[in-house]
Structure 1
């Protein structure tokens, strides 16, 4: 176990505080709830901790004269633990919970937050249900969702004549949500689905049979409707069994950390949509280099979303002059998001924070010029195209009249 994780476990043993503990009424209290060391730690972990700390520090450490206090809670990637710990956090005075990697965990915590009138900012989970049929007036969805990650690559490939697909799907809430979004995008683009295969989430280590089925299907594009280690294991297996020629590999949820772990030899040519790339602008580079000094790796879109979501919440509390959830959420919807993550981002009535997305491709080793120089930004997808139109929403909060 390296020193970073050793320190992290020590912090987990006694809830991490960024400020001295004071009476609840004398502080603004937020909690990062995520997977700190498990299968989806790239969606949380030390990167999430430091991103939230950076937001609090950049805001100034206090809000309307009150210290800003943060807890870092490990839900161990288990929805039941997430719900229990969220209830405990809200009962102890927590005003806002952020991240919530794991879609089932996010949906469970959203229910608790609504019943206790608290704020939830989801950055680490992507199910469309969060702003769809399970939407909540107390929840905001930052960073990405399965629709925004699925729609753009499918449409881009269709425009270039690639319209026949085979899907490798993780058989759990998020993977199935991605599958539904991808299937819908294929149909709306006039494409066809040659077939699909499902695998257990975070349990399969041998992806040989799934890769062979996908390659032998003859589909022009092989889409990976999974995440985290399931996606990287799928990529390794596809490369091992000879993916090449005219077949295009597309990941529907991929973080730069996973490309770093795979290496450009295995990941090169891979196409996917992303909500943030560290090397895109001067502003993204400046923030990302600060993050790198603290974490030792470049940030992914979830890390950037944790920072932006925390900062936007704090700004809304400041503007509202209260931590009352309804008042703060109204301010969050009213105020645009302009920072290194989003330009003129806005929170819609369904709770989705819509912003531009980016269609990216992994570079070859020869194209990469320096450390973490991994992606080519092929195009910017405007917010109105990247996210589901409101008139198609299943959210009960949307006024379609």
Structure 2
């Protein structure tokens, strides 16, 4: 049940007219649930860093637009299982009055949650994941996808590397994320005149990738791409280097490689790998300032997911403060209306389908001798304007926008 504030002091602190009678934040509290991977293959790029990013966004908003508001967080490990995530999310909403879910960075569980968010009139802040969240599975009054998706992770590299006749072959994680990366690669590569030769799939999480990399190496492809993430990408890069994959004429691409992955592999092993990211800590003065704050508390620079969670939560809270409500539809409408301005993203806007469009980047991992210090891993190859990087609104074909 949604109830009105009873504390006049809180209403005054928020600058809301008419004291408590006008306020409509449920239970007088904005409650954020961080549903993340605390122990699995994505824990380095999500996990406790996602919780920290959420708290940083809350602190920054409380020092500005959200002054006087009561904002709380809860967090849990979804174990990369859709059924576990669904149970936790429903319990949070029904029993703990959680207003918004954040992170949920696993494609399989992402597709299980939008119906629940719609049913319960809640908001989901997805920093990335399957492009289906703004396609056939879209719920634009309830979910936003902030930093990346499977389409943009492919498009930057595919558009940069594909020439007429270029041959691509994928090593793919056998679950929703990998399947969507495959589909997007085939579409984008063939549209550029390239040849999609096929793929070999591996279990998630992977325990061994030798046979898959040898198959890819023998495919005759010009470009071998790892359509996986987290620990699977790390294993793929290490195995590829052991077998000489990606050296010489063949290029090695990682669709979802992060600075944490490079740190784990080392520059000697990761050098030359081409990737796309929506955020890099060392991109400019503002990203460096944000990242230094994060690193001081976490011990590492933020991943793109961490940065995306910060940006999404910060913007969500600005919208709550502006509309004086945590009603999902009202808040997301305001999120589309107000400018997106922070230390994380550039030239950003939230589209009608829930996709946040912003500048995206193609990087190449540096050679060891090029690095100027710890975490200095990337050379910038290209900056892609958001309207060119992300799938178009028309091509996404969000069914909810046709009604």
TM-score (norm 1): 0.90
Write the distance in 2 (CA, Å) between the matches of 1:330 and 1:154.
33
Write the distance in 2 (CA, Å) between the matches of 1:377 and 1:132.
30
Contact 1:390 1:398 (C-alpha < 8 Å) held by counterparts: no
Name 1:253's counterpart in structure 2.
Answer: 256
Write the distance in 2 (CA, Å) between the matches of 1:106 and 1:293.
31
Are residue 108 (structure 1) and residue 105 (structure 2) matched? Answer: no
Secondary structure (helix, strand or coil) at the match of 1:31 reads: strand
Matches within 5 A, 1:1-400: 25-60=27-62, 63=66, 65-91=68-94, 92-123=96-127, 125-136=128-139, 137-158=141-162, 163-202=166-205, 204-243=206-245, 244-399=247-402
Write the distance in 2 (CA, Å) between the matches of 1:242 and 1:27.
55
State the 1:44 CA deviation: 1.6
Secondary structure (helix, strand or coil) at the match of 1:63 reads: coil
State the 1:303 CA deviation: 0.5
State the 1:26 CA deviation: 2.2
State the 1:43 CA deviation: 3.4
Secondary structure (helix, strand or coil) at the match of 2:226 reads: strand
State the 1:319 CA deviation: 0.7
Write the distance in 2 (CA, Å) between the matches of 1:26 and 1:195.
53
Write the distance in 2 (CA, Å) between the matches of 1:179 and 1:337.
31
Write the distance in 1 (CA, Å) between the matches of 2:271 and 2:34.
33
State the 1:332 CA deviation: 0.9
Secondary structure (helix, strand or coil) at the match of 2:286 reads: helix
Secondary structure (helix, strand or coil) at the match of 1:41 reads: coil
User: Structure 1 residues 254, 300: CA separation in 2 closer, same or farther (over 3 Å shift)?
Assistant: same
Q: Deviations over 1:233-289 (max 9, x none)?
A: 111111111221111000111111111000001100000110100001100001101
Write the distance in 1 (CA, Å) between the matches of 2:396 and 2:208.
37
Write the distance in 1 (CA, Å) between the matches of 2:126 and 2:393.
19
Secondary structure (helix, strand or coil) at the match of 1:239 reads: helix
Write the distance in 1 (CA, Å) between the matches of 2:117 and 2:185.
30
Name 1:14's counterpart in structure 2.
Answer: none
When structure 1 is superposed on structure 2, of 125-134 and 310-319 the one drifting more is 125-134
Secondary structure (helix, strand or coil) at the match of 1:65 reads: coil
Contact 1:118 1:138 (C-alpha < 8 Å) held by counterparts: yes
RMSD: 1.6
Write the distance in 1 (CA, Å) between the matches of 2:240 and 2:28.
55
State the 1:365 CA deviation: 0.3
State the 1:340 CA deviation: 1.5
Write the distance in 2 (CA, Å) between the matches of 1:158 and 1:354.
23
Aligned length: 375
Alignment gaps of 5+ in structure 1: 1-22
Q: Deviations over 1:111-165 (max 9, x none)?
A: 1110010111111x41111111010121001110000000110110125x78211
Q: Deviations over 1:53-75 (max 9, x none)?
A: 11111112683633111111221
Write the distance in 1 (CA, Å) between the matches of 2:68 and 2:231.
43
Secondary structure (helix, strand or coil) at the match of 2:113 reads: helix
Write the distance in 1 (CA, Å) between the matches of 2:58 and 2:108.
28
Write the distance in 1 (CA, Å) between the matches of 2:44 and 2:109.
16
Contact 1:252 1:272 (C-alpha < 8 Å) held by counterparts: yes
